[in-house]
Amino acid sequence: MSREDIEFDAQGTTLRGWFYPATGSDGDAPCVVVQHGFAAVKEMWLDRYAEVFQEAGLSALVYDHPGFGASDAVLGTPRQEIDPWQQVRCIQHAITYAQSRPEVDAERIGLWGSSYGGGHAYVTAAIDRRVKAVVGQVPAISGSHSFQQLVRIDNWAAMDAAFSAERQARAAGADAALLPVVDKDPTAMSALPTPDSYEWFQTTADDRASSWRNEVTMTSMEYFRGYEPGIYIPLIAPTPLLMIVAPLDRLADGRLATAAYEKASQPKNLVLVGGGHFDAYTGDGFETSSGAARDWFVEHLGRRRPHEGDHR
């Protein structure tokens, strides 16, 4: 598989990633923009999805969100801060960059996102008609709902106080407060306090993502609570929408995602994967999720156009 290290400008900062040219492309292939979820970096299995798309005659653009992995932070924003609306705007810059490449048919852009990035994919598809097909897997639907599931009710007031204090401290010039993304102890303070989150992030980081850092800013959690990507799902049509959902997902509630699917208009499709939130990335879950996404993009974007004399 061939890929190119790339960088592009987004809001005055530099985002970095990989470009995978479609197999056999002569300059007019569709391109899928691929972006990750909460606090993750591109090495956390995005290369495998890009390779599946590449083999199917689709180019793929993979990158790190601002302030994560190889990408610079936006001026005025600390590293490890997850601002969902900033990330949505950067997706739009990634689309612009993809369209500028000579290997890409600028009128055939797809968008793929997972987890928090799945929510971003829905929002972007609803507000940016350059997206011609969208796939979101194990998607974030409601920040407020997820916050209430992940943070004990008797800690809500303390979190409100922490958010307020953090705003005051940063306004006074203090460095951003940080908390772990995951902790081995699910009762300890962390952004994603579930055992499967700890196992997946730590194992994946050890195996293939040395650039990953187990920390996000406290402000990321305030942004998380206020982010409601599910509101945009009814606005995606007529862009073709594929939702890949794990009904047993307890991190990004699979039940909430299947209910949200019912609010979308056609064309749409729902694919279910077994297991929990992170099972979509490996094993049978990967075969299901990547295959469904590949087929959706091929159906709605087409493949690369053959070279003259190519009889396949």
**Domain annotation covers residue 140:** yes
pLDDT exceeds cutoff 50 at 220? yes
Torsion of CA 71, 44, 126, 5, to 10 degrees: 40
Secondary element (H or E) of residue 153: none
163: enclosing H helix or E strand? helix 156-171
> Is 152 a member of any domain?
no
pLDDT at 307 over 70: no
- What mean pLDDT is reported for the chain? 95
Enclosing domain of residue 101: 4-146+228-301
pLDDT tens digits, 91-147: 999 999 999 999 999 999 999 999 999 999 999 999 999 999 999 999 999 999 999
The answer as to whether 308 is a domain residue is no
> Per the domain annotation, does 37 fall within a domain?
yes
Q: Is the pLDDT of residue 1 over 80?
A: no
| 35-49 average pLDDT score | 97
Q: Is the pLDDT of residue 292 over 60?
A: yes
The reply to whether omega before 21 is within 30° of 0 (cis) is no
- Can you give the CATH number for the domain in which 103 is found? 3.40.50.1820
φ, ψ (nearest 5 deg) of residue 289: -70, -45
SS3 of 265-289: the string is CCCEEEEECCCCHHHHHCHHHHHHH
In the structure, what pLDDT confidence band is assigned to residue 306 with cuts at 50, 70 and 90? low
Domain count, the chain: 1
Residue 156 lies in a domain: no
Q: Is the pLDDT of residue 311 over 50?
A: no
Q: Which of 235, 250, 242, 273 is nearest to 127 (CA)?
A: 235
Long-range CB pairs of 190-194, under 8 A, 24+ apart, other chains included: 191/38, 191/39, 191/216, 191/220, 191/221, 191/224, 192/38, 192/39, 192/150, 192/251, 193/150, 194/150, 194/250, 194/251
Report yes or no on 141 lying in a domain: yes
- By residue count, the chain amounts to 312
Residue 44, domain member (yes or no) = yes
Token readout for 280 is 């979509």
Nearest residue to 72 via CA among 150, 7, 143: 7
Query: Can you tell me which residue has the tokens 């960088």?
Result: 7
The pLDDT of residue 309: 45
Does 74 fall in a domain?
yes
Q: How confident is the model at residue 152 (pLDDT cuts 50, 70, 90)?
A: confident
